[in-house]
Amino acid sequence: MVVMIAEVCLLFWQIPNFMHWSVEAERFLYSRDIPSATIEHPVVPILGKSNVGKSSLINLLLGQKLARQGKRPGLTESIGLYKVTPGSGDPFYIGDMPGFGFAVGGVQREQNLSTIIKSFLQKYRRNILFLIYLIDSRRALDGSFQKENPREDAWIELCIALQLPFMIVITKTDKVGKNKIFQAKKQVASKFQIDPADLYSVSIKDSQAIEDLRAAIVDQVADAIKEI
């Protein structure tokens, strides 16, 4: 009997962490022309420039390939909400947002995507616990993120105006190498005047970093729900 219990414990121990939250996909189409729906649970949207790795990160966090990901910037065109229920916690949605900035299809398409993001953030502000804001590690390192960047700054200003707390995550760290990650964090942290240790970093090739981020999201969601 003792052996059996030990075996069961071992089995659970070996189950990857993503098994500890169950996932339901719900593609939530949102545009100015579609009447708004009621969103039942709090939302944690993932925001960032097109191609920064939002949809890929979401698929890894979910442990399933539910969001469309790919090389073409502007691939995600509508908002995908994925209901996540962590072990003993309350359900919430992780939101895959279209990217801002360059989109294949030209300026008009880019503007349409921006309108969708902006109106979602404004309309559903009360559902949003916090944002996860992604920055490509190469843009952090070469200084292009810090330089005067009116388009990206306008997004950051909108989030601040809406009093949206954000968690910052540096992506694609495999592109810069492990020894440069802290430097990339320092550069971004100086722009936001925060401690670099408060930033997260991920790569689709680093499963430990994904696990750490998942755990941090669950903790932050639990804290944010307590404050509501």
Ligand X SMILES: Nc1nc2c(ncn2[C@@H]2O[C@H](COP(=O)(O)OP(=O)(O)OP(=O)(O)O)[C@@H](O)[C@H]2O)c(=O)[nH]1
Give me the residues that bind ligand X (CB under 6 A), please. 50-56, 69-71, 73-76, 98-99, 171-172, 174-175, 203-204
Smallest gap from Cβ 158 to ligand X, in A, equals 17
Nearer to ligand X, 8 or 104 (CB): 104
Residue 203: name its binding partner from ligand X, Mg ion, none (Cβ under 5 to 8 Å by kind).
Answer: ligand X
Smallest gap from Cβ 69 to Mg ion, in A, equals 6
Cβ proximity of 6 and 13 under 8 Å: no
Residue 196: name its binding partner from Mg ion, ligand X, none (Cβ under 5 to 8 Å by kind).
Answer: none
Q: Which of 215, 219, 223 is nearest to 18 (CA)?
A: 215
Binding-residue total with Mg ion (CB under 5 A): 3
Which span (23-31, 38-46, 75-83, 142-150) binds Mg ion, by CB under 5 A? Answer: 75-83
Handedness of CA 208, 210, 212, 218 (dihedral sign): negative
Nearer to ligand X, 54 or 139 (CB): 54
Cβ proximity of 86 and 18 under 8 Å: no
Smallest gap from Cβ 12 to Mg ion, in A, equals 33
Smallest gap from Cβ 72 to ligand X, in A, equals 7
Smallest gap from Cβ 22 to Mg ion, in A, equals 23
55 lines the binding site for Mg ion (CB under 5 A): yes
Residue 71: name its binding partner from ligand X, Mg ion, none (Cβ under 5 to 8 Å by kind).
Answer: ligand X
Nearer to ligand X, 51 or 127 (CB): 51
Tell me which DSSP letter residue 204 carries: T
Residues 6+ apart with CB under 8 A from 113: 50, 74, 77, 98, 99, 100, 103
Nearer to ligand X, 127 or 203 (CB): 203
Nearer to ligand X, 63 or 91 (CB): 63
The pair of structure tokens assigned to 7 is: 């075996």
Dist. CA 35–CA 30, nearest whole Å: 8
Rg (CA), the chain: 18
Residues 6+ apart with CB under 8 A from 114: 100
Binding stretches for Mg ion (CB under 5 A)? 54-55, 76
